[in-house]
């Protein structure tokens, strides 16, 4: 019996990626198709079309299908042995939607193995350019949805988020209001994740709970569609969405198309696909109490939460690996670009000098606190630079090394405060998994560790969504026997311990965190504030 293999797919914004792992979780194959470079006939930029209104952003669905044809052909030409694949799963960019035209189910099911899929499916989509997560053209639909269900907080209490322009329910509402005949011609609406699963299944794949949490349509506590949200978006929507399923569900065997054309075993199982961020949580092997912090252009927090409290910021999603738990996403727009601007102004553009400034200033910065938002921040909604001394008096500037520490302490205190507002609790077992550019700077990580009073580990997340999908393919085969993902992937390489908290950090930062939260109320935008 040839050694089993598991495939993880990632249908992301700019490329399609695939990873194959063996039973010891070693990566034995990886490949990608870059949409702009490898499929130039679609003329995308960064995998997307930004429309002339500068708000509408779409991607051509047939480009995603053709990319799959192309990558499978590349794998076949490289001699990849598909017959060893026991299971596959995948991820898709969250919130994007695919509209299957009436009658397409038969075409999908009976696609000829003599043809690439994109030829068979070329007339199957009632919307040829799918709306994706970068779209922000549905403000009026968002207002209507929040009004229909009793307000933003009520919508967040039901679906885990207030209304966001990129969320799928609002995108569907826009299509229904602007092109009702297109909507009526649509027999099925998929997310990018469930669309990709459908291609492998040869049937319409269900939406999973976790990616479904990014639609403003799923009741995240009951794990079913919210009738009030569906009705507020479009008529007869539930029938077009199908029933949502747990993210670790085995959907069925791979379509015969793949056995005939590529040599997949007919026993290869398709495990439900999910969103890229939930798949990354699996790839980072987050467990209860853990936080993953991606320190990139914007800083993103992935939290594993047992008892979430939905708020008007951030997103609560059903957890992709434990359907009794939840995950939260928090995005801080002023991330590495803010750190680089302060490095340039206060450390002559040198990270070494920046780090020396952190070393030469005391933890707690003698009570000096700062809020650094060169661009409009989303968590919280605020903009500008705001400095306060130990007596909470506004000051116009700090000495350079004090400015550097105020920036870093402020960024991490904001993360802890907003994570705890969503219901996250720092526990004795809490680990912080840091990734992204700043995670290579131990002085910055030391501040992170002290503010959270938790050890910081570094991990490589370059392919976390893909790897997480391959892990989930293995997990799906045993999930029914109550085996956890953590048990399934315990052979994976461990994250590397980088720093541990300084003694006394918790006592030092507790009063500072309280002050920071109070001062934040002074700088957030409000109907009467200077942000307008
Ligand atoms: O909109 C997002 C999450 O809410 C993005 O991270 C997309 O998932 C990227 F594909």
Question: β-strands 49-50, 57-60: how paired?
Answer: antiparallel
CA dist 361 and 353 (Å) reads 12
- pLDDT tens digit at each of 532 positions of the chain: 679 999 999 999 999 999 999 999 999 999 999 999 999 999 999 999 999 999 999 999 999 999 999 999 999 999 999 999 999 999 999 999 999 999 999 999 999 999 999 999 999 999 999 999 999 999 999 999 999 999 999 999 999 999 999 999 999 999 999 999 999 999 999 999 999 999 999 999 999 999 999 999 999 999 999 999 999 999 999 999 999 999 999 999 999 999 999 999 999 999 999 999 999 999 999 998 899 999 988 899 999 999 999 999 999 999 999 989 999 999 999 999 999 999 999 999 999 999 999 999 999 999 999 999 999 998 999 999 999 999 999 999 999 999 999 999 999 999 999 999 999 999 999 999 999 889 999 999 999 999 999 999 998 878 899 999 999 999 999 988 888 999 999 988 889 999 999 999 999 999 999 999 999 999 998 766 657 5
CA dist 40 and 47 (Å) reads 10
Q: How close is the Cα of 34 to the center of ligand 1, in Å?
A: 18
Atom of ligand 1 nearest to the CA of 300: 6
Asked whether 13 lines ligand 1 (CB < 6 A), one says yes
Nearest in space to 479 (alpha carbons), one of 317, 329, 324 = 324
Q: What is the pTM of this model?
A: 0.93
Q: How close is the Cα of 94 to the center of ligand 1, in Å?
A: 5
What value of ipTM does the predicted structure carry? 0.97
CA dist 345 and 482 (Å) reads 54
Asked whether 94 lines ligand 1 (CB < 6 A), one says yes
Asked whether 166 lines ligand 1 (CB < 6 A), one says yes
Structure tokens at 106: 């038969």
Atom of ligand 1 nearest to the CA of 133: 1
Mutate to test the pocket of ligand 1, among 275, 278, 294, 313 (most ligand atoms within 8 A of CB): 275
Q: In 215-350, which ranges are E strands?
A: 218-219, 224-225, 250-253, 269-271, 274-275, 291-295, 299-305, 315-318, 326-332
* Minimum CA distance residue for ligand 1 atom 10: 93
Q: What is the pLDDT of residue 89?
A: 98
φ and ψ at 139, to 5 degrees? -60, -40
CA dist 371 and 126 (Å) reads 47
Q: How close is the Cα of 399 to the center of ligand 1, in Å?
A: 38
Asked whether 372 lines ligand 1 (CB < 6 A), one says no
453 within 8 A of 264, measured Cβ to Cβ: no
The three-class DSSP label of residue 269 is strand
Q: How close is the Cα of 134 to the center of ligand 1, in Å?
A: 8
Residue 343 is inside which H or E element, if any? helix 336-346
- Work out the widest C-alpha separation in the chain, in whole angstroms: 75
């Amino acid at each position: 019996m040839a050694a089993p293999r598991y495939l993880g797919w990632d249908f992301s914004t700019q490329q399609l990626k695939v990873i194959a792992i063996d039973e010891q979780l070693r990566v034995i194959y990886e490949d990608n198709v870059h949409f702009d470079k490898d499929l130039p006939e679609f003329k995308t930029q960064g995998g997307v079309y930004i429309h002339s209104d500068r708000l509408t952003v779409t991607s051509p669905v047939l480009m995603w299908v053709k990319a799959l044809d192309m990558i499978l052909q590349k794998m076949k030409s490289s001699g990849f042995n598909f017959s060893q694949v026991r299971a596959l799963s995948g991820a898709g960019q969250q919130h994007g939607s695919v509209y299957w035209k009436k009658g397409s189910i038969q075409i999908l099911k009976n696609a000829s193995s003599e043809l690439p899929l994109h030829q068979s499916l070329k007339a199957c989509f009632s919307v040829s350019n799918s709306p994706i997560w970068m779209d922000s053209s549905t403000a009026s639909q968002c207002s209507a949805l929040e009004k229909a269900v009793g307000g933003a907080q009520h919508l967040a209490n039901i679906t885990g988020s207030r209304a966001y322009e990129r969320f799928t329910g609002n995108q569907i509402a826009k299509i229904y209001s602007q092109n009702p005949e297109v909507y009526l011609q649509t027999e099925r609406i998929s997310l990018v994740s469930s669309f990709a699963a459908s291609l492998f299944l040869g049937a319409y794949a269900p939406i999973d709970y976790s990616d479904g949490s990014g639609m403003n349509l799923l009741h995240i506590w009951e794990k079913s569609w919210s009738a009030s949200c569906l009705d507020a978006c479009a008529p007869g929507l539930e029938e077009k969405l199908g029933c949502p399923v747990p993210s670790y569900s085995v959907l069925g065997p791979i379509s015969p198309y793949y056995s005939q054309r590529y040599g997949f075993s007919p026993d290869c199982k398709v495990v439900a696909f999910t969103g890229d961020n939930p798949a990354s949580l699996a790839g980072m092997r987050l467990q209860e109490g853990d936080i993953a912090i991606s320190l990139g252009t914007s800083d993103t927090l992935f939290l594993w939460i047992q008892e979430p409290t939905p708020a008007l910021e951030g997103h609560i999603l059903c957890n992709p690996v434990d359907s009794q738990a939840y995950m939260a996403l928090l995005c801080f727009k002023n991330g590495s670009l803010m750190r680089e601007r302060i490095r340039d102004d206060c450390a002559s553009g040198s990270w070494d000098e920046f780090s020396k400034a952190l070393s030469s200033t005391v933890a707690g910065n003698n009570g000096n606190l700062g809020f650094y938002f060169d661009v409009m921040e989303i968590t919280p909604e605020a903009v500008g630079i705001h400095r306060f001394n130990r007596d909470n008096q506004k000051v116009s500037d700090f000495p350079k090394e004090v400015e550097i520490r105020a920036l870093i302490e402020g960024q991490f205190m904001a993360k802890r405060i907003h994570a705890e507002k969503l219901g996250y609790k720092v526990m004795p077992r809490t680990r912080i998994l840091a990734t992204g550019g700043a995670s290579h700077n131990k002085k910055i990580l030391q501040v992170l560790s002290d503010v959270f009073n938790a050890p910081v580990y570094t991990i490589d997340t370059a392919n976390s969504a893909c790897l997480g999908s391959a892990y989930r393919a293995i997990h799906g085969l045993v999930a029914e026997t109550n085996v956890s993902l953590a048990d399934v992937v315990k052979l994976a390489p461990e994250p590397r311990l980088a720093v541990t908290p300084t003694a006394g950090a918790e006592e030092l930062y507790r009063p500072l965190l309280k002050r920071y939260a109070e001062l934040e109320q002074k700088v957030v935008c409000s109907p009467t504030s200077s942000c307008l």
